[in-house]
Amino acid sequence: MTGKALTAPQEAFARGVASGLSQAEAYRRAYPKSERWKQEAVHQAGAKMMNLGNVSARVKELQGLAASEAVLEATRVLREVALLAHSDIGGIMDANGRVKLPHELDAATRAAVKSFEIDEDGRIKYQFWDKRASLDMAMKYLGLYERDNAQKPVMVGEVRLVPLQPADGPKVAKR
């Protein structure tokens, strides 16, 4: 952070604004006595606070930190999809056939686990993510559906429906 250090209420204000609060609401929370003030006075105080160079710099710094933490990385997401797509639920058992506890599972098996329960007798019940959905995502990402569709012959044609009539012409029903 650059400039003069913030006071505790200024830091609270900066954190409030960075977290998405309005300047007025952040000011009210940072300075509780302002709860008794008129709304216009709180708005002006919040704007004045935000105009302080060290406070606005801190807000920008906090927003930058939050943004970098919130970034969803495509490579990490694809790595998770691949882990699930290649997972083998056989990893829940040890060599003696005992069901492993969650912390004993390898990364690929853990990726496949949606949830688990341990009952009062110590029995473990695992529920797994839908592996088919993960494979579907991987196939879409890799373009395998498009390649498969390109292999299928495209049939272009026309179908006409024609009413059937007897060979000697239409018959008229007699009354």
Q: Please tell me the predicted confidence (pLDDT) of residue 53.
A: 92
Res 114 pLDDT > 80: yes
Q: What is the mean pLDDT of residues 82-95?
A: 86
User: Of 70, 101, 122, which closes a domain?
Assistant: 70
Q: What is the pLDDT of residues 26-81, one digit of tens each?
A: 999 999 999 999 999 999 999 999 999 999 999 999 988 876 666 667 777 788 88
Helix, strand, coil % in the chain, rounded to nearest 5? 55, 5, 35
Q: Is the pLDDT of residue 86 over 90?
A: no
| C-alpha distance from residue 23 to each of 1, 4, 48, 81, 92 (Å) | 20, 20, 10, 41, 52
Is 43 found in the same domain as 78? no
144 lies in some domain: no
Expressed as residue numbers, the domain containing 120 is 74-131
Domain limit, last residue, from 70, 99, 116: 70
- pLDDT, position 169: 61
